[in-house]
């Protein structure tokens, strides 16, 4: 593997791509640590320490993970990549619902370019909403759940200071989108995925060191060993797939013979990826958000007792069931057995032992439903790991091994390594995977 890295850096064009990605990552992290104008950095740091040492569960924990801790620091890149992720998910859902978007998707590259443009516009709209809400909470002193040690803004009563901070955060989101597209065009791997990976990994050392400081070396070593086992299991599941064989019959086109090849349809165990966890997490935050604005009501007290702390059994059970539901829901809208069966029939393809047409559609739906079940259970268990750790060892809300953190690190890491591997193989070098 080390020799493969040496070969990669000895290849001039590949070396330039890797160095360019590293340069963009440095710029990205610099913007994630640079405070927005008008922010009282000292009070923000004191409030972060007070909130982390208490029992408060931040309403924006998920977004804070995707911003690499930049959200609660109120930096230029405070929103991170979360608005783009949300916009992409919304567009994927709308493609199934709106015929115009579905037609654009079928147009190929030109249609995909228009959908990407719509995603950018929606990202900026969501960024405006999120930035306004976050700055409003910081202005009112509720961003850290009442743990603020002083005003987070230098001029909390100034509307111009408020608008300047919001504009800075929205501009930071636009710059993040631009950096991600630069990595995709001139670097290695998917730009947005690499930026998400960077932000998630940025919180990893601090979370691990916090476990060592609060629980000692014994617990720290045990967490590392268990974490390595979990990572191995996640890698195994992420690469697991059911390969459905497909045979294409020979056909004459003019005077030439085509077809007669064999291939397969890869159905991954985790077909939905990390999307169900994001859906479920966002939905679980809605009751806490409503309770925050109605803190005096009896139902708000019940929600605060049962749906704010992640180590509560009712919260865990509801979160797990939502992940299972959204896994089936997302797989059903992203993989259409009827469309796949029709495409196979048009090009003379068939599954050995299965008739073309409706029988093929039913067979694909049957296999997909069966393989989605272990994938949904796997996502639910992975997402519950931080909550179990909170209950077992009193870990922080950003426990490193589990949930969105591991899924992103393993998924993006494997995809980037495979892309570098393919580029090395094109140049007759041995790659990472032997």
Where does the pLDDT of residue 96 fall: very low under 50, low under 70, confident under 90, or very high at 90 and above? confident
Q: What is the pLDDT of residues 188-205, one digit of tens each?
A: 888 888 888 888 887 777
Beta strands 256-258 and 349-350 are unpaired
* 184-188, 201-205, 215-219 — most confident range: 184-188
Do 78 and 36 touch, CB atoms closer than 8 A? yes
Q: What is the pLDDT of residues 10-57, one digit of tens each?
A: 777 888 888 899 999 999 988 888 888 888 878 777 777 665 554 444
Q: Is the pLDDT of residue 144 over 60?
A: yes
Do 158 and 54 touch, CB atoms closer than 8 A? no
Please report the pLDDT score of residue 55 as a whole number: 43
DSSP E strand boundaries for 317-425: 349-350
Q: What is the pLDDT of residues 255-285, one digit of tens each?
A: 666 656 778 888 888 888 888 887 887 777 7
CB atoms within 10 A of CB 306: 14
210-218: list long-range contacts, CB under 8 Å, 24+ apart.
210/52, 210/396, 211/393, 211/395, 214/394, 215/393, 215/394
Do 231 and 406 touch, CB atoms closer than 8 A? yes
Q: Is the pLDDT of residue 133 over 80?
A: yes
Q: Is the pLDDT of residue 100 over 90?
A: no
Residues 12 and 148 in one domain: yes
Mean pLDDT of all residues in 118-133: 91
Mean pLDDT of all residues in 366-388: 86
Residues 8 and 95 in one domain: yes
Where does the pLDDT of residue 122 fall: very low under 50, low under 70, confident under 90, or very high at 90 and above? very high
Residues 312 and 181 in one domain: no
Q: Is the pLDDT of residue 171 over 80?
A: yes
Residues 122, 91: Cα–Cα separation, whole Å: 9
Distance of alpha carbon 123 from the chain centroid = 15
Residues 172 and 260 in one domain: no
Q: Which of 92, 150, 143 lies closest to 118, judged by CA?
A: 92
Please report the pLDDT score of residue 24 as a whole number: 92
What is the share, in percent, of the chain residues with pLDDT greater than 70? 79
Residues 351 and 380 in one domain: yes
Do 91 and 115 touch, CB atoms closer than 8 A? yes
Q: Is the pLDDT of residue 59 over 50?
A: no
Please report the pLDDT score of residue 168 as a whole number: 92
Q: What is the maximum span of the chain, computed from C-alpha positions, in angstroms?
A: 81
Residues 415, 189: Cα–Cα separation, whole Å: 7
Q: What DSSP assignment string belongs to 199-238? A: HHHHTHHHHHHHHHHHHHHHHHHHHHHHHHHHHHHHHHHH
For residues 65 and 221, the model is more confident at: 221
Residues 145 and 42 in one domain: yes
Residue 154 within a domain? yes
Residues 389, 316: Cα–Cα separation, whole Å: 12
Residue 379 within a domain? yes
Residues 287, 210: Cα–Cα separation, whole Å: 29
Beta strands 251-253 and 349-350 are unpaired
Residue 343 within a domain? yes
Please report the pLDDT score of residue 61 as a whole number: 59
How many residues are given for the chain?
A: 434
Q: What DSSP assignment string belongs to 414-427? A: HHHHHHHHHHHHHT
Residue 423 within a domain? yes
**Domain total for the chain?**
2
Residues 222, 228: Cα–Cα separation, whole Å: 10
Residues 429 and 310 in one domain: no
Domain that holds residue 390: 240-399
Residues 72 and 142 in one domain: yes
Residues 197 and 299 in one domain: no
Q: Tokens 């608008």 map to which residue?
A: 163
For residues 376 and 407, the model is more confident at: 376
Residues 112 and 260 in one domain: no
Eight-state DSSP code of residue 35: B
Please report the pLDDT score of residue 86 as a whole number: 83
For residues 96 and 55, the model is more confident at: 96
Do 401 and 385 touch, CB atoms closer than 8 A? yes
SS3 for 92?
helix
Residue 215 within a domain? no
For residues 286 and 412, the model is more confident at: 412
For residues 274 and 2, the model is more confident at: 274
What is the dihedral sign for C-alpha 317, 322, 328, 334?
negative
Residues 349, 356: Cα–Cα separation, whole Å: 8
Residue 404 within a domain? no
Given its phi and psi angles, is residue 430 left (phi above 0), alpha (psi -120 to 50 degrees) or beta? Answer: beta
Residues 125, 36: Cα–Cα separation, whole Å: 19
User: Residue 421 maps to which CATH number?
Assistant: 1.10.3370.10
Q: What is the pLDDT of residues 313-351, one digit of tens each?
A: 788 888 889 889 989 988 888 888 888 888 888 877 888
Residues 396, 373: Cα–Cα separation, whole Å: 30
Where does the pLDDT of residue 110 fall: very low under 50, low under 70, confident under 90, or very high at 90 and above? confident
Q: Is the pLDDT of residue 434 over 60?
A: no
Q: Tokens 């783009």 map to which residue?
A: 84
Residues 23, 45: Cα–Cα separation, whole Å: 27
On average, the pLDDT of the chain sits at 79
Q: Is the pLDDT of residue 250 over 80?
A: no
Given its phi and psi angles, is residue 411 left (phi above 0), alpha (psi -120 to 50 degrees) or beta? Answer: alpha
Beta bridge partners of 265: 244
Q: Tokens 């997909």 map to which residue?
A: 368
Residues 343, 355: Cα–Cα separation, whole Å: 14
CA atoms within 13 A of residue 348's CA, in its CB half-sphere: 12
* 128-142, 156-170, 390-404 — most confident range: 156-170
Q: Tokens 């259970």 map to which residue?
A: 377
């Amino acid at each position: 593997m080390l020799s493969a890295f040496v070969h990669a850096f000895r290849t001039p064009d590949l070396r330039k791509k890797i160095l360019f990605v590293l340069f963009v990552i440095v710029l990205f992290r610099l913007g994630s640590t640079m405070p927005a104008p008008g922010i009282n950095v000292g009070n923000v740091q004191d409030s972060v320490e007070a909130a982390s040492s208490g029992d408060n569960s931040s309403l924006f924990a998920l977004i804070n993970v995707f911003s690499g801790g930049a959200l609660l620091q109120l930096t230029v890149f405070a929103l991170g990549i979360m608005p783009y992720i949300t916009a992409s998910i919304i567009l994927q859902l709308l493609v199934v619902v709106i015929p115009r978007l579905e037609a654009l998707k079928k147009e190929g590259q030109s249609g995909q370019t228009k959908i990407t443009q719509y995603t950018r516009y929606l990202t900026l709209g969501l960024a405006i909403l999120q930035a306004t809400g976050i700055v409003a909470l910081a202005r009112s002193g509720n961003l850290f759940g009442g743990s603020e040690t002083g005003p987070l803004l230098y001029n909390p009563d100034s509307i111009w200071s408020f608008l300047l901070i919001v504009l800075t955060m929205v501009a930071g989101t636009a710059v993040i989108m631009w950096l991600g597209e630069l990595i995709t065009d001139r670097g290695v791997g998917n730009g947005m995925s690499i930026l998400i990976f960077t932000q998630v990994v940025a919180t990893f050392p601090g979370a691990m060191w916090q476990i060592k400081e609060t629980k000692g070396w014994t617990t720290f070593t045990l967490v590392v060993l268990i974490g390595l086992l979990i990572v191995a299991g996640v890698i195994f599941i992420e690469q697991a797939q059911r390969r459905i064989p497909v045979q294409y019959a020979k056909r004459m086109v003019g005077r030439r013979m085509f077809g007669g090849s064999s291939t397969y349809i890869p159905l991954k165990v985790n077909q939905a990826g990390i999307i169900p966890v994001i859906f479920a997490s966002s939905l679980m935050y809605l009751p806490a958000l409503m309770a925050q604005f109605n803190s005096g009501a009896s139902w708000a007290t019940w929600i605060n007792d049962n749906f704010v702390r992640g180590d509560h059994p009712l919260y865990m059970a509801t979160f797990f069931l939502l992940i299972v539901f959204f896994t089936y829901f997302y797989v059903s809208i992203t993989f259409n057995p009827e469309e796949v069966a029709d495409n196979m029939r048009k090009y003379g393809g068939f599954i050995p032992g299965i008739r073309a047409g409706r029988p093929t559609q039913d067979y694909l739906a049957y296999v997909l439903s069966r393989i989605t079940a272990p994938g949904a259970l796997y996502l639910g268990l992975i997402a519950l790991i931080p909550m179990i750790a909170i209950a077992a060892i009193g870990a922080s809300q950003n426990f490193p091994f589990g949930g969105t953190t591991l899924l992103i690190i393993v998924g993006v890491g494997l995809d980037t390594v495979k892309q570098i591997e393919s580029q090395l193989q094109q140049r007759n070098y041995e790659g990472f995977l032997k």
